Amino acid sequence: MRDFLAAITARVSVLKGVLPLNRAAAARDALAGVQLASMDIPQVLGYARIAGMPAVTGLYTVFLPLIAFAFFGASRHLVVAADSATATIFASRLATMAPASSAEYAALAAIVALQTAALLFIARIFKLGFLADFLSRTVLVGFLAGVGVQVGIAMLGDMFGLPGHAARSVDQLVLVVREAAQINRPTLAISLLVVVAILTCKRFLPRVPVPLIAVVAGIAASDLCRFPAHGIAVLGPVAGGLPPLRVPSVTWQQMLDLLPVAASCFVMIVAQSAAASRVFAERHHEPVDTNADLLGIAAANAAAAFSGAFVVNGSPTQTAMADLAGTRSQFAQLVFAAVVVAVLLFFSRFLQYLPHCILASIVFTIAIGLINLKTLFAIRRESPGEFSLAVFTAAAVVLIGVEHGILVAVALSLLRHVRHSYRPHTMILAPGDDGVWVPVPAVPGIQTAPGMIVYRFGADLFYANDHFFVDDTRRLIDLAPSKVRCFVIDASAITDIDYSASRSIGELCQTLKSEGIEVLFARVNRYLRSDMDRHGITPIVGEGCIFNTLHEALRTAGVEKPDRHVKEAT
């Protein structure tokens, strides 16, 4: 029976993240799923707070969406649930369209989840999982740091017991400073106690579910000590029972207005979920199927939309928590969902006593965790330019909002790639102290040998960098110590030439030949040779001037024993 079930699921590509599963593995994952629920339930309640949704909807995100991903996804480790980054993205826009936690707000949140599911499904059909590669890790670190700062500032009001909230981070910070005299001291004391306890245990006792302990203790203390009488705000009545299944209803104009929000969520989901699934698959030596995971996350978001929840994401933080708990398949997430059902059916009424400050403090610690200072310092040490991009991205998120910040992050990632290709590293082989040719930066006034320059261009040639190639070549030749008779192009880094670049290179070669300078192409791979043939560069330079190796080109250039000159350089 087990073999039959495995054959069926393999054919229809479902339960790939669960099977194969034996009795021992099921027992292990069941225990891990219960432990994960104890750590994660308080967090999803906090994510609902970030999203501007009723607290119970956070539990909804770890019920049907978890089951949907376990059924259709491929990753055995990825936890798909509410996430601070995506919650912040759509909350920043929805807050301007409807009151938080209202029925209209919930309907708008459901539509964003449905649109996100549609975009993910389209990405799965066209196998667009590679899009995750276009958001660089550097910029993603900066983006998450910005989200952490923004979420942390947003929680200060509840942690201090201050009335009123502002939509923008700067306005919220100003509000907190202006109303500092109205801080509720019991609320602040509870907030500080929870934050210190969570951060301390995270450092020294990471397996202790401090957020759950804080929630349970806070509910008990609130009921016994009547917190509202002391000015400590609580959640109030929380709807119990399983989530109602319904189709969200909004206007066409609202759907159009929310499409950019869904697109921003889509970008963040693809980037974060792909990164998380790859990291843990590599850790456990398992294959990665990003496109299948896209289908699973699409199904999870569709389930969220129809069950009154909001956008869910493959969360790196919660996936790390699951790995720490010992999960090794999606069966643990199914057990997690079963624990959530028990909470919804039997314990949700106790959530009404939960103080806002405890929930805000839990979210605040989550926000702190998003600011990865260790990685930021490593980036600064190794690549100051990339560090500036990360900081700029973080500042954009805080100052102009998450929705626009994610677009800035994508744009910066692409611009950084284009910048590298636009002005790549260029090298010249030049004589070293021992007479052996070594690669040095291509600076005018240097020659490889009297009358000869061996020049390496470090990127593909396309419309944006062809003029740089031509101008660099002209400068090296015009300012050479002696008249150049042979110009050797080391094409080992060039795999492609587009139409615009081919015209520029062809004209350059013709000009150099008319000046009596022989142009040789060395280390030409099959793809570059095909482009040179197709674009008409080969007839210009001549068949005998294109070589597979540098040594062949140097022999043609008149170097009798190239091995003696370029042994170390190559």
- 206 or 428, higher pLDDT: 428
- pLDDT tens column, 534-561: 999 999 999 899 999 998 998 888 776 6
- 10 or 383, higher pLDDT: 383
Domains recognised in the chain with CATH numbers: 29-417 (no CATH), 423-566 (3.30.750.24)
| Dist. CA 520–CA 541, nearest whole Å | 7
Task: Supply the pLDDT for residue 115.
Answer: 94
Task: Supply the pLDDT for residue 116.
Answer: 94
What DSSP line would sit under 425-486, residue for residue? -EEEEEE-TTS-EEEEE--TT--SBTTEEEEEE-S-B-TTTHHHHHHHHHHHHHT-SS---E
| Dist. CA 569–CA 405, nearest whole Å | 44
Q: Is the pLDDT of residue 461 over 80?
A: yes
The percent of residues above 90 in pLDDT, for the chain, comes to 28
**pLDDT band with cut points at 50, 70 and 90 for residue 317:** low
Task: Supply the pLDDT for residue 401.
Answer: 72
Place of tokens 């495995």: 6
Q: Is the pLDDT of residue 570 over 50?
A: no
- pLDDT tens column, 25-56: 788 888 888 877 877 787 788 788 888 898 88
Q: Is the pLDDT of residue 111 over 90?
A: yes
Range 364-384 average pLDDT: 85
Q: Is the pLDDT of residue 471 over 90?
A: yes
Q: Cβ contacts of residue 446 below 8 Å, gap of 6+?
A: 428, 430, 440, 453, 476, 480, 481
pTM, two decimal places: 0.68
| 135 contacts 267 by C-beta, under 8 angstroms | yes
Total length of the chain:
570
**pLDDT band with cut points at 50, 70 and 90 for residue 528:** very high
Give the distance, in angstroms, between the CA of residue 390 and the centroid of all CA atoms in the same chain: 13
